[in-house]
């Protein structure tokens, strides 16, 4: 084998990469641990900075909507519609006419009730006058009793005289001192006096009974009018109540706005016959709307009534900020009052974060400057900085 040139060997040796000696396994581990510790420290530093930058003094949601206690217009009497002077979107004030019904039947009922009221008053006056007449009849029956007593006394005296005469004539007739004709005459006179006494006693009883009946009639009549006036009489009061009801029914043929607001959902036309209690339209009080903000249950730990709220509407954008206050919380979540509430007793249970409606009242002046409508979307942010954790 030929020997290599020494110069060539030296050149190749100069071009070879000089590598450091390999470290043993025990020397690599401290270096890896330092790298991992540095990464963990950097992550903690980033998390701490993010935690410091998060706004913990507010809770917010964009699941909020404008609402209002709308007035549902329902006529209290039935009838045919003769006029509807309002349309949807029209602004009305409390007392403005919304609807007119045919009032022909109501006017007839009012006239009949007025006649019955006048009749009741006249009957009371007549009953009160009759009481005086019955009292006079009681006194007249008392006079009849006096006359009957006098007649009975006279009949009794005549009877006693006729009885004595008859007894005397009967004794003398046995000795022949009195004729048979005279004895017969005294006997007839005695029987006549006896009959007159019986008639007088019957007349006395009849006069007493008449006076008793007159007293009963007077007492019954007095029970109707004693201690009362014409206006306090039960019959008159009932007639007056019926008259007031007729007047109220006539007034109810004109339906007026119960509150200030905007007419919406009008469901009635001229000529349509509507029943009492049927909904015909709705008046939304846009100057008294509020916001129902649906917050997650985990956001409500520090929310309390009275805390300030800032709200923005999609209608005006973020340039218009409303200021309000937390008025209160709903009695339950939206799912709790659903038509078919969720039932989690089947075993296939998945936790779903619930939302609780929070009522927020708005500033009336801001609401007047930028009116809202029911159903509009809102974003709400509650300042909870005034509530500290325990």
Give pLDDT, residue 182.
72
Q: Is 36 exposed, middle or buried, given 0-12, 13-18 or 19+ CB atoms closer than 10 A?
A: exposed
Q: 304-355, pLDDT tens digit by residue?
A: 999 999 999 999 999 999 999 999 998 888 777 766 666 666 666 677 788 9
Q: Under a CB-based contact definition with an 8 Å cutoff, are residues 381 and 311 in contact?
A: yes
CB within 8 Å of 375: residues ≥ 6 apart: 65, 66, 67
pLDDT digits (tens, 9 = 90+) for 257-306: 999 999 999 999 999 999 999 999 999 999 999 999 999 988 999 999 99
Rounded alpha-carbon distances, angstroms, from residue 135 to 63, 181, 305 = 84, 54, 75
Task: Give me the CATH topology for the region 106-247.
Answer: Helix Hairpins (1.10.287)
Give the pLDDT score at 123: 82
How far, in Å, CA of 214 to CA of 222, rounded? Answer: 12
Residue 46: predicted pLDDT: 74
Asked if domains 74-101+260-283 and 106-247 share a fold, the reply is no
Which segments in the chain show pLDDT lower than 50? 1-3, 6-7, 9-20, 23, 53, 388-390
Those residues whose C-beta lies under 8 Å from the C-beta of residue 162, and which sit 6 or more positions away, are 186, 189, 190, 192, 193, 194
Per-residue model confidence (pLDDT) at position 335: 73
CATH number of 74-101+260-283: 2.40.50.100
Domain boundaries, the chain: 55-69+285-338+350-383, 74-101+260-283, 106-247
Burial 197-219 (b: 16+ CB within 10 A, else e): beebeebbeebbebbeebbebbe
User: Which pTM does this prediction carry?
Assistant: 0.62
Indicate the CATH number for domain 55-69+285-338+350-383.
2.40.30.170
Helix (H, G, I), strand (E, B) or coil at 363: coil
pLDDT score at 208:
78
Pairing type for strands 355-362 and 317-329 reads antiparallel
Q: Which of 135, 130, 133, 128 is nearest to 226 (CA)?
A: 128
């Amino acid at each position: 084998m030929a020997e290599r040139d020494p110069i060539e060997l030296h050149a190749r040796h100069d071009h070879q990469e000089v590598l450091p000696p390999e470290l043993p396994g025990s020397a690599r581990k401290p270096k890896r641990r330092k790298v991992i510790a540095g990464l963990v420290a950097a992550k903690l530093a980033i998390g701490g900075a993010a935690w410091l930058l998060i706004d913990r003094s507010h809770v917010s949601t964009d699941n909020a909507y404008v609402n209002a206690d709308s007035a549902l217009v329902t006529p209290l009497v039935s009838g045919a519609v003769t006029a509807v002077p309002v349309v949807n979107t029209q602004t009305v004030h409390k007392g403005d006419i919304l609807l007119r019904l045919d009032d022909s039947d109501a006017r007839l009922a009012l006239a009949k009730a007025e006649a019955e009221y006048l009749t009741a008053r006249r009957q009371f006056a007549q009953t009160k006058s009759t009481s005086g007449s019955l009292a006079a009849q009681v006194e007249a029956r008392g006079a009849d009793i006096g006359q009957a007593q006098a007649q009975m006394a006279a009949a009794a005296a005549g009877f006693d005289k006729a009885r004595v005469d008859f007894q005397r004539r009967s004794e003398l007739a046995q000795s022949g001192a009195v004729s048979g004709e005279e004895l017969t005459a005294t006997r007839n006179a005695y029987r006549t006096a006896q009959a007159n006494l019986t008639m007088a006693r019957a007349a006395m009883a009849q006069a007493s009974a008449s006076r008793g009946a007159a007293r009963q009639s007077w007492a019954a009549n007095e029970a109707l009018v004693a201690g009362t006036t014409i206006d306090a009489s039960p019959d008159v009061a009932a007639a007056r109540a019926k008259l007031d009801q007729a007047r109220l029914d006539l007034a109810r043929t004109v339906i007026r706005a119960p509150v200030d607001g905007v007419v919406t959902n009008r469901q009635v036309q001229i000529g349509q016959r509507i029943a009492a209690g049927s909904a015909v339209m709705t008046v939304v009080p846009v100057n008294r709307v509020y916001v129902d903000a649906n917050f997650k249950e985990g956001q409500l730990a520090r929310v309390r009534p009275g805390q300030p709220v800032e709200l923005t509407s999609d209608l005006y954008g973020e340039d218009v900020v409303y200021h309000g206050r937390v008025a209160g919380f709903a009695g339950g979540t939206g799912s709790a009052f659903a038509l078919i509430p969720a039932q989690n007793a089947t075993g296939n249970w998945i936790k779903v974060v619930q939302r609780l409606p929070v009522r927020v009242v708005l500033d009336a002046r801001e609401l007047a400057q930028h009116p809202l409508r029911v159903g509009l979307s809102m974003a709400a942010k509650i300042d909870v900085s005034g509530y500290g954790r325990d």
